[in-house]
Amino acid sequence: MSPNTQKYVMAIDQGTTSSRAILFDHSGQIVSTGQLEHEQIFPRAGWVEHDPKEIWRNVRQAVAQCLAASKDINSSNIVAVGITNQRETAVVWDKTTGEPVYNAIVWQDTRTDKICDELAQGDDDRFKERCGLPLATYFAGPKVKWILDNVDGAREKAERGDLLLGTTDSWVVWNMTGGVQGGVHVTDVTNASRTMLMNLDTLDWNPDICAAMGIPMSMLPEIKSSSEVYGEGRKGGFLVGVPIAGILGDQQAATFGQACFERGMAKNTYGTGCFMLMNTGEEVIHSRNGLLTTVCYKIGDNKPVYALEGSIAVAGSLVQWVRDNLGLIKDAAEIETLATTVDDNGGAYFVPAFSGLFAPYWKDDARGALVGLTRYVNKGHIARAVIESTAFQTREVAEAMAADAKDADIELTELKVDGGMTANETLMQFQADQLGVAVVRPKVAETTALGAAYAAGIAVGYWDGEQDVIDNWAEDARWEPQVDEDERERTYRLWQKAVTRTFDWVDDDVR
């Protein structure tokens, strides 16, 4: 049998619950995959951690699985590797030993609430004009400060220049390119924009914010574009010599994979959380309505493209909670089956503020609530309330986005969707009903990994540019609004009432 001479791009998707490797062909179709879940570590209420060494181990194994599943494909067939990752999760490690000084602190973790209060000095938007972000537990900078303040010897090592920091893309790329044997310490503009430490306008680290957080700048990775060659796969690895040529934070990667290249185009990813991004072009729009201003992508030497983002902490993870903590279902897909046993939510509303409320409220002290209960409500109504909570939260973000984008003449006309929850057609229809615009799902659902693959492939000339991405994108399903406006507004008004019941739940003694 003659050897396979076809060429492919691999994406490594280092996510919140698992690490995956996916091989794509030139048409953007999946050739093979590998995936391993990693442990979710909960040392105490509100704390969420991952083991960085387990993540790196699983990345290597996922790559091996992916190559094994592809049968006759090896590193010589792979022209580039793209990395996408959980964005705000922070890792600090020793550059001489390669050992993390502490577990990765995950984006969902809320332990830095008091640090954020102290940094704010009475103004949660203290740094927002420069970095686009409010002071919140969500972002990586305060997480790094916590590690330096609380791990014995960490601050001294950092000030000597012995420690490195990064979001998980930096950790993976550093190890992939050799680690202590000369690993490349980089990140891209999309991930850097989630630390609170980067200037949105210059795309450089901000010395004043770093100083305010007590983070030595020697720890920081070099900021690169989202599509260029950063280094090559290490000797002895499965991808030896293969260019690592794309990095995009997971939500920006999905936006890129969904071909949202024009101002006003938006996508929502339904995963552990929900993340809606709207392309605002080369214009930085500072939100006045509780959203984040972030870098959408930057291709090589081209100008950066910006986005407005609404981040929702709990979406798919609420379904997991119903499965694992309540035992109402045995499999995540059963939530839709259970929800369709009833016609509506029976008056029940579930606000999943398990780690506070993200956009547009940014209330760290909110906690989850199930309200509107009567003797009439059964588990079917609760299942429907679980599904509907994701759509209601997305509508809140979409309305804030519309308010911010109005002055720039940007309007949402349809919403592209991706992520595991888009298989739930009840959710997708309810989402269209709540937004009043069409909801569109692509044929290739793995848009996060695909976006990272496109960024890497464009860097090495495998794809010519954005037009190839547009040509490869194809619609799989579309949901149009079906409910009348009175019903839409009635249910949304009750949802907003339910949200207010979660405010100010945590006091200083019970954080």
| Residue numbering of the annotated binding site for ATP | 16-18, 272, 316, 320, 420
Geometric angle at alpha carbon 473, from 468 and 477, rounded to 5°: 175
Which parts are annotated binding residues for sn-glycerol 3-phosphate?
16, 87-88, 138, 250
Single-letter amino acid, residue 451 = G
Running DSSP on this structure, what letter comes out for residue 371? Answer: E
Residue 382 CA, chain-centre distance (Å), reads 27
In 3D, which of 159, 168, 114 has the Cα closest to residue 140?
168
In 318-459 the beta strands, taken as DSSP E runs, fall at 349-351, 369-371, 414-418, 438-442
Q: Do the beta carbons of residue 74 and residue 23 sit within 8 Å?
A: no
Q: Do the beta carbons of residue 330 and residue 283 sit within 8 Å?
A: no
Distances (CA, A) of 180 to 103, 174, 344, 420, 491: 19, 8, 57, 36, 56
Q: Do the beta carbons of residue 292 and residue 132 sit within 8 Å?
A: yes
| Kind of pairing between the strands at 369-371 and 349-351 | antiparallel
Helix, strand, or coil (residue 57)? helix
Measured distance between the N- and C-terminal CA atoms of the chain, rounded to whole angstroms: 64
Helix runs in 121-206, H state only: 128-131, 140-150, 154-160, 168-176, 189-192
In 3D, which of 284, 276, 278 has the Cα closest to residue 304?
284
Which parts are annotated binding residues for glycerol?
87-88, 138, 250-251
Which parts are annotated binding residues for ADP?
16, 20, 272, 316, 420, 424
Q: What are phi and psi of 206, to 5 degrees?
A: -100, 110
Which parts are annotated binding residues?
16-18, 20, 87-88, 138, 250-251, 272, 316, 320, 420, 424
Neighbours of 159 (CB within 10 A): 14
Render 239-257 in DSSP notation, one character per residue.
TBT-EEEEEEEHHHHHHHH
Q: Quick one: CA dihedral 416, 336, 394, 489, positive or negative?
A: positive
Running DSSP on this structure, what letter comes out for residue 322? Answer: I
Q: Do the beta carbons of residue 56 and residue 71 sit within 8 Å?
A: no
